[in-house]
Amino acid sequence: MIYCFNAAEVFQLALEIKENGRAFYEQAQNKIQDPEIKKQFAALAQEELEHMNKIKRLKANSPWGSGPSTPDPENEMEVYVKATADQHVYKTCGALSVQLDKIQDVADVLKLALQFEKDSVIFFMSMQEAICEGKDRDVVDILLKEELIRVKQLSMQIQRMGYCRL
């Protein structure tokens, strides 16, 4: 049987990614001295928390279902969801620390943040393909729009500061 994600599972993935993103922005703040970027990353970490609250509200009020689309008596989907989200944001095996240790200047941290947000867009776009029911895709569209706003913000910051894009 082919496994198809539903909105409830996408919500869980989104929550994991947002939590990982919050951790990334908080840890990245410690790697830079620029007060403007520190402030921006603090705001991005706060936005991740706000997005998590929004996702929780969407999940609680979702008409799209709340459980797995396929029976999962051993709760394997939760493990898969967490592992998938963790891989996305360099969270496993100390990978986030490795990435943050490579940062030498503000340009590096901005580019890493932009790459994270671009990866989020790609991740949620791929989730659209993994959702069997069309109505659940609306959830992913909501999440994608938020990620695209972040990509735009970071791209503009990189341009304002005169750094090259990735």
Alpha carbons 76 and 133: distance in angstroms, whole number: 21
Could you read off the pLDDT of 63-87 as tens digits, one per residue?
A: 655 555 556 667 666 676 666 666 6
In a domain, 77, yes or no: no
What backbone torsions phi and psi does residue 89 show, to the nearest 5 degrees?
-115, 30
CB 136 within 8 A of CB 130: no
Other beta carbons within 10 Å of 101: 10
In a domain, 81, yes or no: no
CB 17 within 8 A of CB 61: no
**Tens-digit pLDDT string for the chain (166 aa):** 355 677 777 788 888 888 888 988 898 888 888 898 889 889 989 999 998 998 888 788 776 555 555 566 676 666 766 666 666 655 555 677 777 788 878 888 888 889 888 888 887 887 777 776 666 677 788 888 988 998 999 999 888 888 765 4
In a domain, 88, yes or no: no
What backbone torsions phi and psi does residue 65 show, to the nearest 5 degrees?
110, 155
In a domain, 121, yes or no: yes
In a domain, 153, yes or no: yes
Query: What CATH number has the domain bearing residue 106?
Result: 1.20.1260.10
Alpha carbons 155 and 111: distance in angstroms, whole number: 9
Alpha carbons 47 and 24: distance in angstroms, whole number: 13
Domain that holds residue 22: 7-59+93-160
For residue 118, list its beta bridge partners: none
Could you read off the pLDDT of 148-165 as tens digits, one per residue?
A: 998 999 999 888 888 765
In a domain, 166, yes or no: no
In a domain, 110, yes or no: yes
Alpha carbons 10 and 42: distance in angstroms, whole number: 26
Report the number of distinct structural domains present in the chain: 1
